[in-house]
Structure 1
Amino acid sequence: MAGQIPLVDYLILDDGEPHLMARECINCGARFFDRRNACASCFSTDFTPVRVATEGTVRTFTIVSFAAPGIPTPFVASVVDCDGTPVRANLVNVEPDPEHIRDGMKVRLTTYPIGTDSEGTEAIGFGFEPAA
Protein backbone atom coordinates (compact mmCIF):
# COMPACT_ATOMS: atom_id res chain seq x y z
CA MET A 1 0.00 0.00 0.00
CA ALA A 2 1.25 3.48 -0.85
CA GLY A 3 0.20 4.93 2.49
CA GLN A 4 -2.58 6.93 4.04
CA ILE A 5 -3.71 10.54 3.77
CA PRO A 6 -6.21 12.32 6.01
CA LEU A 7 -9.44 13.55 4.43
CA VAL A 8 -8.95 16.94 6.15
CA ASP A 9 -5.69 18.69 6.97
CA TYR A 10 -6.51 19.01 10.68
CA LEU A 11 -6.64 15.22 11.14
CA ILE A 12 -3.15 14.09 12.18
CA LEU A 13 -2.34 10.44 11.48
CA ASP A 14 1.45 10.26 11.69
CA ASP A 15 2.03 11.48 15.24
CA GLY A 16 1.36 8.32 17.26
CA GLU A 17 -2.33 8.35 18.20
CA PRO A 18 -4.64 9.93 15.57
CA HIS A 19 -5.90 13.31 16.74
CA LEU A 20 -7.21 16.67 15.55
CA MET A 21 -5.27 19.94 15.54
CA ALA A 22 -7.02 23.29 15.83
CA ARG A 23 -5.72 26.82 15.38
CA GLU A 24 -6.08 28.73 18.65
CA CYS A 25 -6.23 32.50 18.80
CA ILE A 26 -3.34 33.70 20.96
CA ASN A 27 -5.39 36.70 22.11
CA CYS A 28 -8.73 35.15 23.18
CA GLY A 29 -8.30 31.36 22.98
CA ALA A 30 -11.01 30.75 20.35
CA ARG A 31 -10.31 27.62 18.30
CA PHE A 32 -10.88 27.01 14.61
CA PHE A 33 -10.30 24.08 12.26
CA ASP A 34 -10.42 26.01 9.01
CA ARG A 35 -7.96 28.55 7.66
CA ARG A 36 -8.38 32.00 9.21
CA ASN A 37 -6.94 35.39 8.38
CA ALA A 38 -8.36 36.75 11.63
CA CYS A 39 -10.15 35.48 14.71
CA ALA A 40 -13.94 35.58 14.40
CA SER A 41 -14.18 36.48 18.09
CA CYS A 42 -11.60 39.24 18.60
CA PHE A 43 -10.12 39.90 15.11
CA SER A 44 -6.58 39.04 16.20
CA THR A 45 -4.39 37.59 13.46
CA ASP A 46 -2.11 35.48 15.67
CA PHE A 47 -2.80 31.75 16.02
CA THR A 48 -0.98 28.75 17.42
CA PRO A 49 -1.64 25.07 16.64
CA VAL A 50 -3.14 23.08 19.54
CA ARG A 51 -3.95 19.42 19.92
CA VAL A 52 -7.64 18.70 20.54
CA ALA A 53 -8.72 16.13 23.13
CA THR A 54 -9.61 12.76 21.57
CA GLU A 55 -12.50 12.14 23.98
CA GLY A 56 -15.58 14.27 24.41
CA THR A 57 -19.28 14.61 25.08
CA VAL A 58 -22.10 14.78 22.54
CA ARG A 59 -23.68 18.24 22.87
CA THR A 60 -26.23 17.90 20.08
CA PHE A 61 -27.03 15.51 17.26
CA THR A 62 -29.45 14.84 14.46
CA ILE A 63 -30.24 11.69 12.55
CA VAL A 64 -29.97 12.46 8.85
CA SER A 65 -32.48 10.53 6.75
CA PHE A 66 -32.11 12.31 3.40
CA ALA A 67 -28.79 13.24 1.81
CA ALA A 68 -27.18 13.89 -1.56
CA PRO A 69 -27.21 11.00 -4.03
CA GLY A 70 -24.61 8.38 -3.16
CA ILE A 71 -24.48 9.26 0.56
CA PRO A 72 -25.79 6.33 2.61
CA THR A 73 -28.51 7.20 5.12
CA PRO A 74 -29.36 7.25 7.90
CA PHE A 75 -26.31 8.68 9.64
CA VAL A 76 -25.77 10.75 12.76
CA ALA A 77 -24.38 14.29 12.51
CA SER A 78 -23.23 15.74 15.83
CA VAL A 79 -21.35 18.40 17.70
CA VAL A 80 -18.94 16.95 20.25
CA ASP A 81 -17.40 19.00 23.05
CA CYS A 82 -13.76 17.91 23.25
CA ASP A 83 -12.60 19.55 26.48
CA GLY A 84 -13.98 22.93 25.42
CA THR A 85 -13.40 22.62 21.67
CA PRO A 86 -16.59 22.00 19.67
CA VAL A 87 -16.06 19.49 16.86
CA ARG A 88 -18.62 18.82 14.13
CA ALA A 89 -18.44 15.16 13.11
CA ASN A 90 -20.53 12.11 12.43
CA LEU A 91 -21.12 9.54 15.14
CA VAL A 92 -20.05 6.11 13.88
CA ASN A 93 -20.21 2.55 15.18
CA VAL A 94 -23.59 3.27 16.80
CA GLU A 95 -27.14 2.58 15.62
CA PRO A 96 -28.59 5.77 14.10
CA ASP A 97 -31.65 5.94 16.34
CA PRO A 98 -32.57 7.83 19.53
CA GLU A 99 -32.51 4.60 21.56
CA HIS A 100 -28.72 4.43 21.18
CA ILE A 101 -27.69 8.12 21.16
CA ARG A 102 -28.22 10.91 23.69
CA ASP A 103 -26.93 14.36 24.52
CA GLY A 104 -24.21 13.99 27.14
CA MET A 105 -23.02 10.65 25.74
CA LYS A 106 -19.28 10.06 26.12
CA VAL A 107 -17.48 9.46 22.82
CA ARG A 108 -13.95 9.11 21.48
CA LEU A 109 -12.27 9.95 18.19
CA THR A 110 -11.93 7.15 15.67
CA THR A 111 -10.64 6.95 12.12
CA TYR A 112 -11.75 4.83 9.20
CA PRO A 113 -10.85 4.29 5.54
CA ILE A 114 -12.99 6.18 3.03
CA GLY A 115 -11.47 4.89 -0.20
CA THR A 116 -8.29 4.02 -2.05
CA ASP A 117 -6.92 5.68 -5.18
CA SER A 118 -5.39 3.94 -8.17
CA GLU A 119 -1.91 4.13 -6.63
CA GLY A 120 -3.03 2.42 -3.42
CA THR A 121 -3.15 5.52 -1.21
CA GLU A 122 -5.93 5.20 1.34
CA ALA A 123 -8.01 8.26 2.35
CA ILE A 124 -8.81 8.31 6.07
CA GLY A 125 -11.79 10.07 7.64
CA PHE A 126 -12.73 10.60 11.27
CA GLY A 127 -15.78 10.47 13.46
CA PHE A 128 -16.65 9.78 17.06
CA GLU A 129 -17.80 6.48 18.53
CA PRO A 130 -19.27 5.63 21.92
CA ALA A 131 -16.58 5.44 24.61
CA ALA A 132 -16.43 2.14 26.49
Structure 2
Amino acid sequence: MSRMPLVDYLVLDDEPHLVAAECTACGARYFDRRSACAHCGGVEFGSADVPTEGVLTTFTIVQFAAAGVEVPFVAGVVDCGGTSVRGNVVNTPPDPEHVTLGMRVRLTTVPVGTDSAGIEAVGYGFEPV
Protein backbone atom coordinates (compact mmCIF):
# COMPACT_ATOMS: atom_id res chain seq x y z
CA MET A 1 0.00 0.00 0.00
CA SER A 2 1.26 3.46 -0.86
CA ARG A 3 1.35 6.09 1.88
CA MET A 4 1.22 9.88 1.62
CA PRO A 5 1.87 12.38 4.43
CA LEU A 6 -1.07 14.63 5.25
CA VAL A 7 1.31 17.62 5.65
CA ASP A 8 4.48 18.44 3.70
CA TYR A 9 6.62 18.64 6.83
CA LEU A 10 5.95 15.02 7.90
CA VAL A 11 8.62 12.65 6.57
CA LEU A 12 7.50 9.03 6.30
CA ASP A 13 10.59 6.87 6.32
CA ASP A 14 11.96 4.15 8.60
CA GLU A 15 11.89 6.70 11.43
CA PRO A 16 9.07 9.19 10.75
CA HIS A 17 9.88 12.76 11.79
CA LEU A 18 8.98 16.38 11.19
CA VAL A 19 11.10 18.87 9.25
CA ALA A 20 10.86 22.59 9.97
CA ALA A 21 11.92 25.57 7.90
CA GLU A 22 14.69 27.22 9.94
CA CYS A 23 15.62 30.88 9.47
CA THR A 24 19.31 31.03 8.59
CA ALA A 25 19.65 34.40 10.33
CA CYS A 26 18.15 33.72 13.76
CA GLY A 27 17.26 29.99 13.90
CA ALA A 28 13.50 30.48 14.35
CA ARG A 29 11.59 27.44 13.11
CA TYR A 30 8.33 27.23 11.20
CA PHE A 31 6.21 24.56 9.55
CA ASP A 32 5.07 24.93 5.94
CA ARG A 33 6.40 27.53 3.54
CA ARG A 34 7.52 30.97 4.75
CA SER A 35 8.32 34.13 2.78
CA ALA A 36 9.94 35.87 5.74
CA CYS A 37 10.84 35.17 9.35
CA ALA A 38 8.33 36.59 11.83
CA HIS A 39 11.13 36.94 14.40
CA CYS A 40 13.87 38.78 12.49
CA GLY A 41 12.54 39.44 8.99
CA GLY A 42 15.09 37.13 7.37
CA VAL A 43 14.17 35.65 4.02
CA GLU A 44 16.44 32.62 3.78
CA PHE A 45 15.53 29.27 5.28
CA GLY A 46 17.11 25.87 5.60
CA SER A 47 15.63 22.55 6.69
CA ALA A 48 15.92 21.29 10.25
CA ASP A 49 14.87 17.88 11.57
CA VAL A 50 12.73 18.25 14.68
CA PRO A 51 13.38 15.89 17.61
CA THR A 52 10.76 13.16 17.80
CA GLU A 53 10.42 13.34 21.60
CA GLY A 54 9.32 16.27 23.69
CA VAL A 55 7.32 17.64 26.59
CA LEU A 56 3.63 18.56 26.53
CA THR A 57 3.52 22.27 27.40
CA THR A 58 -0.21 22.94 27.07
CA PHE A 59 -3.31 21.01 26.09
CA THR A 60 -7.07 21.04 25.99
CA ILE A 61 -9.56 18.22 25.93
CA VAL A 62 -11.89 18.94 23.03
CA GLN A 63 -15.49 17.93 23.72
CA PHE A 64 -17.26 19.46 20.70
CA ALA A 65 -16.09 19.33 17.08
CA ALA A 66 -17.35 19.36 13.51
CA ALA A 67 -19.62 16.57 12.36
CA GLY A 68 -17.67 13.37 11.78
CA VAL A 69 -14.81 14.25 14.15
CA GLU A 70 -14.67 11.82 17.06
CA VAL A 71 -14.65 13.49 20.49
CA PRO A 72 -13.29 13.78 23.04
CA PHE A 73 -9.69 14.21 21.88
CA VAL A 74 -6.64 16.01 23.24
CA ALA A 75 -5.14 18.90 21.28
CA GLY A 76 -1.78 20.03 22.57
CA VAL A 77 1.51 21.84 22.04
CA VAL A 78 4.74 19.91 22.47
CA ASP A 79 8.19 21.37 23.00
CA CYS A 80 10.45 19.21 20.84
CA GLY A 81 13.93 20.41 21.73
CA GLY A 82 12.97 24.08 21.49
CA THR A 83 10.58 23.74 18.55
CA SER A 84 6.88 24.11 19.41
CA VAL A 85 4.73 21.57 17.59
CA ARG A 86 0.94 21.47 17.60
CA GLY A 87 -0.57 18.02 17.54
CA ASN A 88 -3.09 15.72 19.12
CA VAL A 89 -2.13 13.48 22.03
CA VAL A 90 -3.07 9.96 20.96
CA ASN A 91 -2.97 6.38 22.24
CA THR A 92 -4.03 7.38 25.75
CA PRO A 93 -7.45 8.12 27.27
CA PRO A 94 -8.43 11.78 26.75
CA ASP A 95 -8.75 12.75 30.41
CA PRO A 96 -6.69 14.64 33.03
CA GLU A 97 -5.70 11.39 34.76
CA HIS A 98 -3.76 10.29 31.67
CA VAL A 99 -2.72 13.58 30.07
CA THR A 100 -0.76 16.08 32.17
CA LEU A 101 1.40 19.14 31.66
CA GLY A 102 5.06 18.22 31.47
CA MET A 103 4.44 14.65 30.35
CA ARG A 104 7.01 13.20 27.96
CA VAL A 105 5.64 12.29 24.56
CA ARG A 106 6.97 11.02 21.24
CA LEU A 107 5.91 11.48 17.65
CA THR A 108 3.80 8.76 16.12
CA THR A 109 2.00 8.43 12.81
CA VAL A 110 -1.77 8.13 12.54
CA PRO A 111 -3.69 6.78 9.53
CA VAL A 112 -6.22 9.37 8.37
CA GLY A 113 -7.93 7.55 5.52
CA THR A 114 -7.47 5.71 2.25
CA ASP A 115 -8.58 6.99 -1.14
CA SER A 116 -10.15 4.97 -3.98
CA ALA A 117 -6.70 4.28 -5.47
CA GLY A 118 -5.57 2.65 -2.22
CA ILE A 119 -3.28 5.49 -1.13
CA GLU A 120 -3.27 5.92 2.63
CA ALA A 121 -3.11 9.46 4.03
CA VAL A 122 -0.96 9.60 7.18
CA GLY A 123 -0.97 12.29 9.84
CA TYR A 124 0.92 12.57 13.10
CA GLY A 125 0.26 12.88 16.78
CA PHE A 126 2.14 12.44 20.05
CA GLU A 127 1.84 9.51 22.41
CA PRO A 128 3.10 9.12 25.98
CA VAL A 129 6.67 7.82 26.25
TM-score tier, shorter chain, comes to over 0.9
Q: Render the CA deviation track for 1:2-59: whole Å, top value 9, x for unaligned.
A: x000000000003x30000000001111000021100000010010000000000000
Aligned with 1:45: secondary structure?
coil
Q: Which amino acid aligns with 2:125?
A: G
Residue of 100, 103, 122 corresponding to 1:102: 100
TM-score, length-scaled by structure 2: 0.98
Aligned match of 1:67: 65
Q: Render the CA deviation track for 1:63-101: whole Å, top value 9, x for unaligned.
A: 000011111100000000000000000000011000111
Aligned match of 2:36: 38
Q: Which amino acid aligns with 1:11?
A: L
Q: Render the CA deviation track for 1:83-126: whole Å, top value 9, x for unaligned.
A: 00000000000110001111100000000211111111000010
The percentage of aligned residue pairs carrying the same residue is 64
Q: Which amino acid aligns with 2:41?
A: F
Residue of 119, 122, 125 corresponding to 2:123: 125
Which 5+ residue runs of structure 2 have no aligned equivalent? none
Counterpart-to-counterpart distance in 2, 1:36 and 1:113: 27
Aligned with 2:3: secondary structure?
strand
Aligned with 2:74: secondary structure?
strand
Residue of 55, 58, 70 corresponding to 2:56: 58
Aligned with 2:87: secondary structure?
strand
Aligned with 1:95: secondary structure?
coil
Counterpart-to-counterpart distance in 1, 2:30 and 2:110: 23
Aligned match of 2:110: 112
Residue of 4, 27, 40 corresponding to 1:29: 27
Segments of 4+ moved more than 4 angstroms? none
Counterpart-to-counterpart distance in 2, 1:123 and 1:67: 21
Aligned match of 1:9: 8
Counterpart-to-counterpart distance in 2, 1:112 and 1:89: 11
TM-score, length-scaled by structure 1: 0.96
